[in-house]
Amino acid sequence: MQTDRPPARYRCTACGNLTRFEVTMTRRTRAFHHFTIGGELSIEDTEVLSEDVESVECRWCGTSASVVQVDPDEIEATDPDAGARPDDAARSDAGSAAGA
């Protein structure tokens, strides 16, 4: 699948949810449908011609009333998962045990 732009990000202002949403959308696409002689279908080169988001509901609140669309850059700064770098913590004292 191809996307020209980064996906929209959402935030529920009622519960603070940033990651779980029920999104209802209408998408108009054009794609290359490649069939085998046996009828097996492989869909390639999907191009999104238009996309209309009808509703975005918070998975926990069950309503779209408090969901707002936010700038992805804004989430990078506040999302606890986005800043985690587990590799750096594990790397720091490797070799201290093996040195002797």
Task: Write out the residues near Zn ion by the rule CB under 5 A.
Answer: 12, 14-15, 17, 58, 60-61
Residue 57 C-beta: closest distance to Zn ion, Å: 9
Phi, psi (deg, nearest 5) at residue 72: -55, -35
Residue 70 C-beta: closest distance to Zn ion, Å: 14
Quote the CA–CA distance of 74 and 76 in Å, as a whole number: 6
Residues in the chain: 100
| Whole-Å CA distances, 14 to 42, 62, 75 | 42, 11, 16
* Closer to Zn ion by Cβ: residue 48 or 61: 61
* Closer to Zn ion by Cβ: residue 59 or 91: 59
* Closer to Zn ion by Cβ: residue 48 or 66: 66
